[in-house]
Amino acid sequence: MTTARGRGRPRDPETDAAILRAALELFLERGVEGTSMEQIAKRAGVGKLTVYRRWSTKEDLIAQAIEESVAAELTPSPAQVEALSPQEIIERALPAAAEMVASPAFRALVARVMGSAVSHPKLMAVYWKHYILPRRQLAAAMLRRAQKDGTVAADADLDVLIDMMAAAVTYRVLQPDPPDAAGMLDYLKAVYRQVGLYQPAQGP
């Protein structure tokens, strides 16, 4: 979540990217407690004021860095959820999602985020409000569409289904020997099939 500032020179996307990259690296290396705005500025090669002009707190900055790292572009837009079936949305996202979720970097990120839920709840509050909740709302919209299509039970608890999908991926990623991208693709298909959002293509 960026903080609006007054008029001035246009923001440099390369500077933003360097700051976000530095914030993510430090978060993965040291956690929230071991990361400061000063350290982020130093690693990004910018002045501290440059960071504060863009983000008012390190929680805001780290939350956006996390979101950037998990490929926000994989999340469908509200317009796509309205126009496309759940099957179409998932088929488009599955290959890239499997590659991302199977990566060691994603596994490390999940471990840090889960730890921060207890050790630094302020970060989780920011991340939940600005990034997780909007995604849950999109997932709920997909599930409601699937209910109309008859692939999800009409009386299903959508919050529970969303929790089940998120928890399934988290559990599988953190197991001692997580699957590679191909294995994760098969697993994601199975998860979405069990929920009722995806049906594999039928053979001839």
Q: Is residue 2 part of a domain?
A: no
- Dihedral (Cα; 196, 83, 75, 149), 10-degree rounding: -10
- pLDDT of 8 reads 44
Residues 140 and 173 in one domain: yes
Q: Is residue 94 part of a domain?
A: yes
- Could you read off the pLDDT of 16-68 as tens digits, one per residue? 999 999 999 999 999 999 999 999 999 999 999 999 999 999 999 999 999 88
Q: Is residue 115 part of a domain?
A: yes
Q: How many CB atoms lie within 10 A of CB 58?
A: 24
- Could you read off the pLDDT of 70-108 as tens digits, one per residue? 865 577 888 888 899 999 999 999 999 999 999 999 999
Residues 58 and 87 in one domain: no
Residues 24 and 50 in one domain: yes
Residues 48 and 77 in one domain: no
Residues 110 and 85 in one domain: yes
Question: Can you give the CATH number for the domain in which 56 is found?
Answer: 1.10.10.60
What does pTM read for this prediction? 0.83
Residues 185 and 120 in one domain: yes
- pLDDT of 72 reads 58
Q: Is residue 204 part of a domain?
A: no
Q: Supply the range of the domain harboring residue 32.
A: 13-65
Q: Is residue 8 part of a domain?
A: no
- pLDDT of 70 reads 81
CA dist 75 and 93 (Å) reads 8
Segment of 82-91, 154-163, 168-177 carrying the highest mean pLDDT:
154-163
Residues 112 and 42 in one domain: no
Q: SS3 sequence, the chain?
A: CCCCCCCCCCCCHHHHHHHHHHHHHHHHHHCCCCCCHHHHHHHHCCCHHHHHHHCCCHHHHHHHHHHHHCCHHHCCCHHHHHHCCHHHHHHHHHHHHHHHHCCHHHHHHHHHHHHHHHHCHHHHHHHHHHHHHHHHHHHHHHHHHHHHHCCCCCCCCHHHHHHHHHHHHHHHHCCCCCCCHHHHHHHHHHHHHHHCCCCCCCCC
Q: Is residue 141 part of a domain?
A: yes
Do the Cβ atoms of 61 and 43 come closer than 8 Å?
A: no
Q: Fill in the amino acid letter for 100.
A: M
Q: Is residue 3 part of a domain?
A: no
Domain total of the chain: 2
Residues 18 and 82 in one domain: no
Q: Is residue 201 part of a domain?
A: no
Question: Can you give the CATH number for the domain in which 150 is found?
Answer: 1.10.357.10
